[in-house]
Structure 1
Amino acid sequence: MSETRKLAAILAADVVGYSRLAGLDEARTLARLRALRSDLVDPTIAVHIGRVVKRTGDGTLVEFRSVVDAVRCAIEVQNAMLERNVGVPPDRRIEFRIGIHVGDVVEEGDGDLMGDGVNIAARLESIAEPNGICLSGAAYEQVRDKLKEQFADLGEKELKNIARPVRVYRVALDSDTATEPIVPDPSAGKLAAPDKPSIAVLPFQNMSGDPEQEYFGDGIAEDIITALSKLRGFFVIARNSTFAYKGKAPDIRQVARELNVRYVLEGSVRKAGERLRVTGQLIDAASGNHIWAERYDRPASDIFAVQDEITHSVVAAIEPQIYAAERLRLQSKAPESLDAWGCVVRAMPYIWTWVIQDEDTGISLLKRAIELDPHYARARSLLAWAFATRVISGNLEFEPGISSALALAQGAIDLDPDDPWAHFAAGYISAFSRRLGPAVEELNEALQRNPNFVFAHIILGVAYGYAGLADDGLRQLEIARRLSPLDQTQAANLSVEGLCHLVAGRYAEAVRAERRAVLMRPNFGTAWRTLTAAAGLAGDLETARQGLVECKRLQPNLSIEWVEKYHPLIRTEDRARYVEGLRRAGLE
């Protein structure tokens, strides 16, 4: 087996008292640890460009390219754990110890790391306090002038099986986050208003009388807070502040005033036998109106799977509802009085309609947003979407239109690489440019940043459909439907479903799906095109001819030549069938 020697920053972590926790409740401890890894630890490692070398039970060994990345990663994880453990009984808390060292390691052929560099990091982890981080002197020298955190010198320590004493430093974390939360004092002065939609997620009430359900309700609220915090357009109140209201029955308007938020999400959990019922409601605190409410009835057989499913569904549902509420709030304002965020929110409904006149309004608002804030990535992402939509609708010349859209999308990524909308726009444009690889890569980047991004799942479905991978496309559409069965993406979902059925040779099913899409969006040009082609292939020439009339109304320049040259279907045989369906309808 080949070996390579190199210098690396090594992070070693394990769970404090894991054997004791597992002894109390092994299944629950394992499930909580898996959830922490998938929701917090692994995403944070990925953000800081780390590589998980191996896991040994409750332990993790990670390699980083720089000590700065390793320490930043460790600090983010430990601060997040301090917040998550507020309100959890001390004997039930999952707490990590972390050690970090930079040194010489040997990388084996299978990617495993060996040597003193690894051993010292592991020994540093073993002497760290619960929720603590210990660095070797070598690691400290790399970060001392690069990070704002304070470090305590613990002196030289004898470490087990390490020949020489090692200088050790401890990271001084913000201990304030570990204290129990205090309800904000409304007399202490008004907080500054956030410049984007603000939301507080209250602890979900346990209505069953079963103390075990406290953990479930708290877990849902925590997961929703975490997921909403990943959405770049929202200001989300931290768990410590909202969990200060746990066990109380506060007036929602008072909560909104004390936390200075506009929207409040509250809910309840009830268990009866082997069934769980979870309810949630989103309230506009200024008016007291309920702008969204839902009930989820699920079997209690796998409580953590239910928790994940409900969290994803709630976040996917309330994101578009908040955007809609913001549009209503801003619609009476004159465009010239709107800030960049207001322009983007006002533009959104025009972008998704596939109506050229509406798109003109949306494009004007987005250009205004960029004028007001040239560094606003979201405005560039949506403008890229609008240009690409015009291209695929045949209402903008292909080469310059795609070039402009790609430049805008790349500009958005450069401005804010963590915004899922920027990667979504780049993936969308690639999907319509017969570039499956980049489309899938960018759309997956968007979904890594927001797993509940319904439209990204739909466009990933269309990318697979255009590549002839109908089953993969339909799987993405099913995920989108589960996440948000009722929102503005329904017509798009149906149209992509129709495309996938057409590619798979199920022409009658394609016709049914596209009919529903155009009933919802009568000016949905790409849906009319696929309906016409599918009807022609199905032998339903009357529907095909009627569809072609609508196609020509929406795209006067539509021709066989245009379809062969610009339609996004990648495989020649799929494009030939599509063209044949349009020919049967009468297209020349």
Structure 2
Amino acid sequence: MVGRSAGAASASYAMREARATSRILTLVFADLADSTALKAQRGDQAVGELITRHRAHVRRLAETCGGRIIDWAGDGCFLTFETPSAAVLFALRLQQAHRQESDLPGVRIGMHLGEVSERAGSEDDLAHPRVEGLAVDLAARICSLARPAQLLMSSSVAASARQRLDSDTLGQPVRWHAHGSYRLKGIDEAVEIHEAGFDGLSSFEAPAALENATPAQPPRRRALPIAISAMVVLGAALSYFLWSHDPQDNPHTEKPGSARGYDDRPAIAVLPFDNLSPDPDQAFFADGLAEDLITRLSSWRAFPVIARNSSFQYRGGNVDLKRVRQELGVRYVVEGSVRRSGDRIRVAAQLIDAPSGEHVWAETYDREVTDVFALQDEISATIAASLVGDLTRSEGERARQLGTHNLEAWSLYQLGLQHFDRYTLEDFAEARQLFERAAELDPRFATSLGQIAIAGVSELMLGRGGPRDEFVSAMMTSARRAVELDARDPAAHLGLAGAYLAGGDPRNGLESIRRAVDLNPSMPMAWIWLGWAQILAGDPE
């Protein structure tokens, strides 16, 4: 009886062994850096204890993040995950765990997403399957490139994971960096290497050339001098400006009722609010309310919001809503007025159905000036609720988080935008200084910090003099701080992109611009800079 049972088990194993399953998995290799040198310094027993603690962290975090441990080799480990985001989450948490225990050495991690062949484990170890294929070799090669406390990955992992991980997941912003292409031994085509990590923990240094991995020649690119680049961008900006301010000559003007490619989602335009204050200089305050309303409504991704550059051309007097609808392709229009007297403001706002001209919603608010930010939240949430009833809670929270609650900082920021829109070297410089003053009053005003970099890079485009490297470094510091404060602020990512481009790093510039466009598709300058970055990176597609 026993013999027959053993024979059946053996036959069952043989059938599983013969049957291979093809799967697409995220493959992860992790090992302790410089463990051999540590043994010479601390002794085998001490290092053995470190490896035991390291393995405990790996097991705990793999289970938490849904990973499978396939194999151990000394201090190294091979794991698989169902998704890239789960793999990156595991890796970053492992790095955090090592950072919290100062005597643990840095962990090197490499990962790749690819198709593998999976078979049952050995007859003595059925719990650990065999995972094989070229993708496994590629992940191991990427790991060999990593420095201590460095997480490297192929572009397929980075492209998927970065869309699903934000600062809320890990408690601090995740920084993404592109290191360019590397030729890896045994791999026919060059592989794009990316890094994810935390400022202050990861080095973000480019991988060193090794015997089995060397930097590939950069793709053929048009290395344009900064002056030519500026001409390209300013030409595009001028074209956009003329296009947006002369819709009668715009060949892309839609017919009435068209949706302008918004996938049947109702588009909305916020027109400039009328300034009814006795002081005409308070027009910036009215513009600021409308500008902030555009930004906050853009956070509700259920409907597209027309960019300020387009909607603000309809300023003053009685606006023909049919014309607005035809030229912008919108379903809804927001109009309003602001009257400020001392410390009191009266804001009137109305949401209009453009095809019928009917009022969907209208309200008048009498408030203290200090309540202006809460008022903006209330107006934007009410309008959003009028347009769609099932908006997610996270989008609403995001809309409430934007900007600053320091009225003076907000006013300086709005004045800065006015100067920025004049597109002269002097006004770009004045705008940057106003954004800097706003950030000094509220050091957590991420949008203003991002705009500092945007304005500074714009100054460089128009020929700003003085020490260039030091200035670019200051713009980079401001933009990185903005992203750290709010990883979902498009201005922060656009400022970071500009700093990268001005510093001669078009690859990371392109990634940051794409992130800005993803966060706010209604941001014209982001699209203009996207073209600039694609030219510099040799990626016109």
* TM-score relative to the length of structure 1: 0.30
| More helix, by proportion | 1
Structure with more contact order per residue of length (Cα contacts < 8 Å, sep ≥ 6): 2
User: Normalising by structure 2, what TM-score?
Assistant: 0.33
